[in-house]
Amino acid sequence: MDLGYGFTSGTNRISKQKVCYWLHTDNDISWNSFVWYIADYCDIEDFGEDWISIRLVSAKQREFFYKKVMEYSEEICASNFEIDRENELWKDHKKGADRNRNILLRLIK
């Protein structure tokens, strides 16, 4: 099912280039920090060096995902990611820790 703007119901692969385009930045964002941030808001199936596969099932979910991408702050999220890597408090306090635990564990290795 087409969710609009190139998204379909199910798995959608989003590139780092597309995220930078949405954010209107020529600056290179820290991809791992972005994946760490977005894990709080959507189901991540997999990720790579410059891509992420997320599961979307409705247009409302797609809109929410886009909204959260637009709220991403490189300075804040990169700092939060580095702090979270230093301890294990995120396992109890991070919103996406239950649903994306395997992804998060891969990110902090």
Binned at pLDDT 50, 70 and 90, residue 87 comes out as: confident
Do the Cβ atoms of 58 and 9 come closer than 8 Å?
yes
What is residue 78's predicted lDDT score, i.e. its pLDDT? 94
Query: In Å, what is the CA distance from 98 to each residue of 49, 89, 102?
Result: 23, 13, 9
Tokens 């099912």, residue located: 1
Do the Cβ atoms of 35 and 93 come closer than 8 Å?
no
Binned at pLDDT 50, 70 and 90, residue 88 comes out as: confident
Per residue in 29-39, pLDDT (tens digit) is: 999 999 999 99
Per residue in 53-77, pLDDT (tens digit) is: 999 999 999 999 999 999 999 999 9
Least confident of 16-25, 33-42, 88-97: 88-97
State the greatest distance between any 2 C-alpha atoms of the chain, in Å, as a whole number: 41
Q: Is it the case that residue 108 has pLDDT exceeding 80?
A: yes
